[in-house]
Amino acid sequence: MEEPLPGQRQLVYALQVAGLIAAGIYILSNIAAFLSRIETFVAIGVAAIFFAYAIAPAVDRLARSYPKRLAITVVYVAMVLLLGLGGAVVIPGLISSASAFNADVPRVVAAYHQQVAAMPLVAELPPKLQAAIVQAPERAFAALGNFGAEAATSAFAFGITAASFVAFIIVVPVLAIYLLLEIDTIRRAALRLTPVGARLPAARLIREIDSMLGSFIRGQLTVAAIVGVMVTLLLLALHVPYALLIGVLAGLFDVVPYVGAVAGWLPAFAISVSTNGWQNALLVTLGIIVINQIEGNLVVPRVISAKVGLSPLTVIVALFVGGELLGVLGLLVAVPIVAVFRIIAEKVVDEATPSPDTEAERLRAEDQGTRAKGLHAKSTGLSKTR
């Protein structure tokens, strides 16, 4: 049987990758439909996984010298103390700032209307575009208020407010403890289900996926904290009110890649226009653009991209698809899921595609075989002539 030509092999590999992608999309769509029915349970599970990966390095470092249960206990006690201290300092200020901001929204909107309508650039725009720009914060604040009211109404209607609070305060850390304790057992069980000949590649694949997920989760939390701090410092430097509140919101939103700095811009812009004038608002806009560029070109590539291995375009597409399938939960898990599929696809292609050295050796062997056949044919011809 003749071996396929290089072009044919490449076509086979391309079809294999396309089939893997199609199968992945089909599987994901069915998984998304199922997960949407158990959304609360999935949210708790995802939160526990994120939490476990976030504290895993500290636990592993302590577990080298102490029993793992003691290491987890020490880390949890340290976290409770740090969160308690930080909460005692920050949370009262955030609550008072949020209350003051909520009461100040009508004044901010009215002052924004006056200031933006007087801006030279806006005055030259068509009337409909002027109206859209002038009314943008008012509509955004109204939509946010309606969303909050609707969420609160739904929560009280179904009686899940207290349950959700208890779940995320108690159940998530407890579930994370079991994940940290049983992770080695789960890995061994997964390898036992793998055929013996494939266990070594499977172990490498599991180790690479585990490293990628840990790097992504811890890296994204680090990036979110950096963005929150940078936005807060920017607004403090420009004397924008509610700087800490807006910075915290920007950091929270930045848990979804590339969203935080942009999400913090609208309230910062509206408040700076209404309080300090449009010149200050332009400086805020310029500062947010700089922060976004620092995040995308310096922080994210160093902290996340090297491990996740996804281009910004792939991340954006993944966020759109994840948000469409699973809403907020989809935005959180879309990037790591796509990164896992990338790792699996690369392993499949690497195993199916011969390395350059292997291909060169094969061609060299074929060439030597052809030469040997030629020499044999010549010697046979000479012997017959004699």
**% of the chain at pLDDT higher than 90:** 8
216-339-264-156 Cα dihedral, nearest 10 degrees = -90
3-class DSSP string for 42-87: HHHHHHHHHHHHHHHHHHHHHHCCCCHHHHHHHHHHHHHHHHHHHH
Amino acid 287: pLDDT: 92
| Rounded Cα–Cα distance for residues 225 and 119 (Å) | 34
Amino acid 83: pLDDT: 81
| Rounded Cα–Cα distance for residues 291 and 311 (Å) | 19
Please compute the mean of the pLDDT values over residues 203-209 and round it to a whole number: 84
Structure tokens at 148: 């909050």
Comparing CA positions, the residue from 334, 380, 287, 290 lying closest to residue 35 is 334
Helices (H), the chain: 6-35, 39-63, 68-117, 120-123, 127-158, 161-166, 172-192, 199-237, 243-253, 260-276, 278-294, 300, 306-308, 312-352, 356-385
| Rounded Cα–Cα distance for residues 153 and 157 (Å) | 6
pLDDT, tens only, 348-385: 766 655 555 555 565 566 656 555 555 555 555 545 55
| Rounded Cα–Cα distance for residues 140 and 268 (Å) | 13
The 3-state DSSP class for residue 259 equals: coil
Cβ 237 vs Cβ 284: under 8 Å: no
Cβ 284 vs Cβ 235: under 8 Å: yes
Is 339 a residue whose pLDDT tops 70? yes
Please compute the mean of the pLDDT values over residues 42-58 and round it to a whole number: 86
Amino acid 75: pLDDT: 92
Q: Which residue has the higher pLDDT, 162 or 202?
A: 202
The 3-state DSSP class for residue 241 equals: coil
With 0-12 / 13-18 / 19 or more C-beta atoms within 10 angstroms meaning exposed / middle / buried, residue 229 is middle
Is 244 a residue whose pLDDT tops 70? yes
pLDDT, tens only, 3-29: 555 556 667 667 777 777 777 777 767
Is 243 a residue whose pLDDT tops 80? yes
Structure tokens at 155: 């929560």
First-to-last CA distance in the chain?
36
Q: Which residues contact 342 (CB under 8 A, 6 or more apart)?
A: 309, 310
Q: Which residues contact 165 (CB under 8 A, 6 or more apart)?
A: none
Please compute the mean of the pLDDT values over residues 130-147 and round it to a whole number: 61
Question: Which letter, b or e, does each residue of 152-183 get, where b requires 16 or more Cβ atoms within 10 Å of its Cβ?
Answer: eeeeeeeeeeeeeeebeeebbbebbbebbeee
Amino acid 259: pLDDT: 73
Amino acid 196: pLDDT: 78
Q: Which residue has the higher pLDDT, 76 or 38?
A: 76
Average pLDDT, the chain: 75
Rounded to the nearest 10 degrees, the angle between the axes of helix 278-294 and helix 260-276 is 160
Please compute the mean of the pLDDT values over residues 235-256 and round it to a whole number: 88
Amino acid 111: pLDDT: 77
Does the pTM exceed 0.85?
no
Comparing CA positions, the residue from 225, 217, 235, 230 lying closest to residue 280 is 235
Structure tokens at 275: 């309080």
Amino acid 323: pLDDT: 75
**How does residue 262 score in pLDDT terms, banded at 50, 70 and 90?**
confident
pLDDT, tens only, 153-175: 444 443 444 556 666 778 888 88
Q: Which residue has the higher pLDDT, 355 or 96?
A: 96
| Rounded Cα–Cα distance for residues 109 and 117 (Å) | 12
**How does residue 77 score in pLDDT terms, banded at 50, 70 and 90?**
very high
Amino acid at position 177, single letter: I
Q: Which residue has the higher pLDDT, 91 or 276?
A: 276
The Cβ of residue 195 has, within 10 Å, a number of other Cβ atoms equal to 7
Is 278 a residue whose pLDDT tops 60? yes
